[in-house]
Amino acid sequence: MTKLAPPGRFKVIHCILPAGRAHAMLDRLREEKGIASVFFHHSRGGGISTRKGRESFHYVEREIATVLVPEDRADEIFEFIYFAAGVNQPHAGMVLMEKTRLAMPVAMPEAAPGKPG
């Protein structure tokens, strides 16, 4: 049976990025910061743009990454995501952080001896 992480206080960080950027950023987050409670999904939408006085349909695709982090590391992880995802560049997305009421991180199972992890 998998051990659950001890209860604690957490924050949720959401990152909205251009399509194709979330997977690499979340891999870096797992490898470099040890944060495994992450997921992302794809979204798309459209709207009317009135650039230069002409109406045209504008279609966009985004990825939305969600990360659960311990409250004491939230600012550190927020800054890491900000730069790792390239949000510090113009028109590259945005990052939001919020408190959680109830949350539990993902506990990765231990690999059995002799079996690949």
Q: What are phi and psi of 93, to 5 degrees?
A: 120, -165
- Rounded to whole angstroms, the Cα distance separating 60 from 63 reads 10
Segment 65-73 shows an average pLDDT of: 94
Choices 3.30.70.120, 3.30.1330.10, 3.40.640.10, 2.60.120.200: CATH for 10-61+72-99: 3.30.70.120
Beta-bridge partners for 99: 11
Q: Are 114 and 38 in contact (CB under 8 A)?
A: no
Give yes or no for residue 63 having a pLDDT over 90. Answer: yes
Which residue type, as a one-letter code, is found at position 114? G
Segment 58-80 shows an average pLDDT of: 93
Give yes or no for residue 49 having a pLDDT over 80. Answer: no
Domain ranges of the chain: 10-61+72-99
- Rounded to whole angstroms, the Cα distance separating 14 from 101 reads 16
Q: Are 60 and 45 in contact (CB under 8 A)?
A: yes
Give yes or no for residue 1 having a pLDDT over 50. Answer: no
DSSP 8-state class, residue 89: S
pLDDT tens for 76-117 read 999 999 999 999 999 889 999 999 887 777 666 665 566 555
Segment 13-34 shows an average pLDDT of: 93
pLDDT for res 102: 78
Q: Which of 8-17, 18-27, 75-84, 100-109 has the lowest mean pLDDT?
A: 100-109
- Rounded to whole angstroms, the Cα distance separating 106 from 34 reads 12
Mean pLDDT of all residues belonging to the chain: 84
Which percentage of the chain shows pLDDT scores above 90?
56
